[in-house]
Structure 1
Amino acid sequence: MTPLVQAEQAVLGSVFLDPGQLDHLSPWLRPDHFSRPAHAALYASMLKLRADGHPATTGKSGDPIPLAWVTDTVQEASTRTRGLTASYAHSLISACPHPTHAPVYGRMVLEGAIHRSVTQHAIRLHQAARADAVRGGVEETVHQAQILSDLLAELAHQWGTEPRPIPPPAPNTSPAQQPQPVDEQVLADEEFLLGCISARPEQLLDVVGWLHPGDFADTGHQQIYRALGALHHRGEPIDQLTVLWETQRRGALSDGTLDAERVLQICDPLSLSSVAEHFGEQIVQASLVRTAAASARQVRALADDKSLAPGRLIGYALHTLGPLDEVRRRLRIASGTEPAPLRTDILSAAAPPKARTEAARSRSRAHTTAASAPVTAAAPHFHSPDRPTRRSPS
């Protein structure tokens, strides 16, 4: 028997022994907080009998408890679930260490309910993300993500804390998950987008405000997108060779992330009339689904850690959902449902300052050496006053 089950039994036993404890429990402890259906049915029956004015709940403190309190509670609970007997109710009474400790036992039940609820909704978010990855949508993922965020805020209110994201003190040490397979269509969309931007670099301004390198599923595509952005930011020309050189400068060729043939193939100039924004939005959608699946696994691992107090669990879970919320915001910007924030760095990228452009181009020019420099005039010769000069013999 787990400590949680023992806590549920202690709560019910304390109320059987002292119905007045419902005054301390009813404002915040609900039947659905109990993990076992029989316990939930008994607690719901106690609340109903109290609302109906049962004599056991209207007496003064210290008055003897009517025998009918136990039998009436079991009878009412039997209408909600099966298998309840009066003997089980008496076993709950014997399982209660002390009736006046009911609020503490109730807090244990609530703590278990918080862990259980976060686990259930994290599983639903992960299932929704996997389903959307197959059918190519994001609606159910977004819906379940919002439900989980709202749930965490509600649980924080129930526990008496603020729903504030708290970074965990150490990285999550849950067992390593197998890398999720990426749909070939997603990779094709990424390559197509990079090809569109390579052929028409001005389209980078249409997506750079909401499409980030981390949205690409393929690490090689991330590096190419970074290279395109760096070239455009410096005002340098964009073509197959300049992108290849920039990826080499960033170490993507030496570490094996990319090879020259692949970069040249992706950046091959194509006579395309497609709009980069369309493929960019598809990439962000796929990124949202992947981020949701990863966040759901991390939140579930946190909820499975019974050593975490509810306040910390809620704070850590909200922090874990932060990247997902950020991708959701950028998807709203991409779809036009939310205005994009004004960013001066993006605006300046449309027309790089002349000084920055010249500095970038100067790094690409061949510098003239003294040996190859043409002599246009005799260089003046200055004598140092500290050193004697040599005169030719007359």
Structure 2
Amino acid sequence: MPHPTDGYEDDDLDDLPPPRPVHYAEQALLGALLLHPHRLAEIGVLNAEHFDNYAHGILFAAIRTVPAPDPEQHLTDPAWLNTVLDSARPEAPGLTASYLHTLIQVCPWPKHAAAYARMIRADHARRTLGAHAEGLALAATDATLPNPAATTLAQADALARFLEDLAGQFAPHPGSLPRTPLLPEPPRDAGEEALDEEQFLLASATAHPAELKEMRWLLPEDFALPLHAGLWQCLTALTHRDDPVDPVTVMWEAQHRGLLNANIAPTDLMSLTSTPVGSPEYWGEKVIQRALLARAHAVATRITAYTDDPANTPHQLITGSRRALADLHALRTRWKYASTPAPTTSPARTRASAPARAGPPRTTAPSASRISR
């Protein structure tokens, strides 16, 4: 219920944005329940927090809490309406008796209460999914976290569980993919620290090329700078062919891959691979973690675009968001492989040879011919 200060009656102020469609669905449902309280049993699972308007949620909670009146008496006696209003006012003091009568008047068909409730649940699902995407984006960009990758993936898991829960609430239908036009993915972090980590990786990999064969979890698209991605391809190609690897051979391979141009001289490329610091695995894990966080942020941005588009149905939101998370899962699998220590192998246990069984006691001495053999 994100709008505790929303007005409860329409006004003519031109500077206020028009209410969103769910506002009228909430009014229609509340009007139906105020007029026919017994329809509360027809609307399915619905809670006060599903309402976008805070006061509407409080009023719904009061309707559900106050015992239903006698149907015949309710047609002529407003006592139940007054009891509901008294129950809601401590939490929503702006509610008035006239607004309750307005809700009743604006309800088109009380028998459509279940349909109005479905609309409210759908809009609540969209808003909640947007909140999950916002949490994922914040985790992926928070540099103060002690373990940003773990925190970000925990947010992604929470989002996936929410989508799983939604899938059980809303039936699928044809045309389930969102048609929302998506903006290009946000640019990767190309700050000094990120570029230094990539350069240290390239230099250490040039100095220790044998270790690259164990780093298949790192791909060119994990790099923030395209030039660094191209040099990584040069290194992996040389290693795959068992060719000599050093700054000069890497530069020569880069020439064939079109990395040299007017702005990048051979000495520039060789300097990128000539100052090794640490091990390739260490810097590779740094690079893939940055790629993981960047991908999580891109996924959050895509899901936010889906939730900001009111044309998307709940099932379209579910399908589009699941596909976005699948892109993150593929990179997550590689990151997990990179960051998980290799299991220590213990020597195979050998079974101790069983002692030879004693044979039957000899009754005769062995023959001379057997001794001489």
TM-score (norm 1): 0.74
Contact 2:74 2:80 in 1 (8 A): no
Unmatched 5+ stretches in structure 2: 1-18, 344-373
Among 29, 34, 37, which residue is 1:19 paired with?
A: 37
RMSD: 2.7
Among 276, 280, 283, which residue is 1:276 paired with?
A: 280
Q: Does 1:203 align with 2:211?
A: yes
Cα shift at 1:15: 0.9
Cα shift at 1:254: 4.9
Give the direction of change, closer, same or farther, for the CA distance of 1:215–1:175 in structure 2 (3 Å limit).
closer
Cα shift at 1:4: 1.2
Partner of 1:247: 254
Q: Provide, for residues 160-218 of structure 1, a one-character-per-residue CA deviation record: whole Å limited to 9, x for no partner.
A: 459xxx7656xx6345576354332121111111111111111102322x222111111
Q: Provide, for residues 340-393 of structure 1, a one-character-per-residue CA deviation record: whole Å limited to 9, x for no partner.
A: xxxxxxxxxxxxxxxxxxxxxxxxxxxxxxxxxxxxxxxxxxxxxxxxxxxxxx
Written as runs of structure 1 = structure 2, the 5 A alignment for 1:1-394 is 1-25=19-43, 27-49=44-66, 54-56=67-69, 64-65=74-75, 67-132=78-143, 137-161=148-172, 173-175=181-183, 179=187, 181-208=189-216, 210-254=217-261, 259-268=265-274, 270=276, 274-336=278-340
SS in 2 for 1:159: coil
Letter in 2 for 1:204: L
Cα shift at 1:236: 2.2
CA distance in 1, matches of 2:257, 2:177: 31
CA distance in 1, matches of 2:220, 2:21: 47
Cα shift at 1:253: 2.8
Contact 1:45 1:76 in 2 (8 A): yes
Percent identity (aligned): 33
Letter in 2 for 1:9: Q
CA distance in 1, matches of 2:309, 2:239: 47
Contact 1:132 1:141 in 2 (8 A): no
Cα shift at 1:301: 0.7
CA distance in 1, matches of 2:26, 2:145: 41
SS in 2 for 1:306: coil
Cα shift at 1:82: 2.7
CA distance in 1, matches of 2:82, 2:73: 18
Cα shift at 1:237: 2.2
CA distance in 1, matches of 2:292, 2:50: 32
CA distance in 2, matches of 1:246, 1:177: 30
Letter in 2 for 1:276: P
Of the structure 1 ranges 141-150 and 310-319, higher mean CA displacement relative to structure 2 is found in 141-150
Contact 1:71 1:86 in 2 (8 A): yes
CA distance in 1, matches of 2:275, 2:195: 18
Contact 1:138 1:285 in 2 (8 A): yes
CA distance in 1, matches of 2:243, 2:91: 73
CA distance in 2, matches of 1:89, 1:298: 40
SS in 1 for 2:323: helix
SS in 1 for 2:143: helix
CA distance in 1, matches of 2:83, 2:73: 18
Give the direction of change, closer, same or farther, for the CA distance of 1:111–1:337 in structure 2 (3 Å limit).
farther
CA distance in 2, matches of 1:199, 1:338: 22
Partner of 1:375: none
Give the direction of change, closer, same or farther, for the CA distance of 1:334–1:181 in structure 2 (3 Å limit).
closer
CA distance in 2, matches of 1:248, 1:46: 75
Contact 1:10 1:105 in 2 (8 A): yes
CA distance in 1, matches of 2:111, 2:226: 60
CA distance in 1, matches of 2:95, 2:252: 75
Partner of 1:378: none
CA distance in 2, matches of 1:87, 1:317: 42
Q: Provide, for residues 234-262 of structure 1, a one-character-per-residue CA deviation record: whole Å limited to 9, x for no partner.
A: 22222223322322322333596x54233
TM-score (norm 2): 0.78
Unmatched 5+ stretches in structure 1: 340-394
SS in 1 for 2:299: helix
Give the direction of change, closer, same or farther, for the CA distance of 1:193–1:133 in structure 2 (3 Å limit).
farther
Letter in 1 for 2:308: D
Cα shift at 1:135: 7.1
Letter in 1 for 2:120: V
Partner of 2:369: none
Q: Provide, for residues 287-315 of structure 1, a one-character-per-residue CA deviation record: whole Å limited to 9, x for no partner.
A: 11111111111111111111111101111
CA distance in 2, matches of 1:12, 1:144: 35
Cα shift at 1:55: 3.7
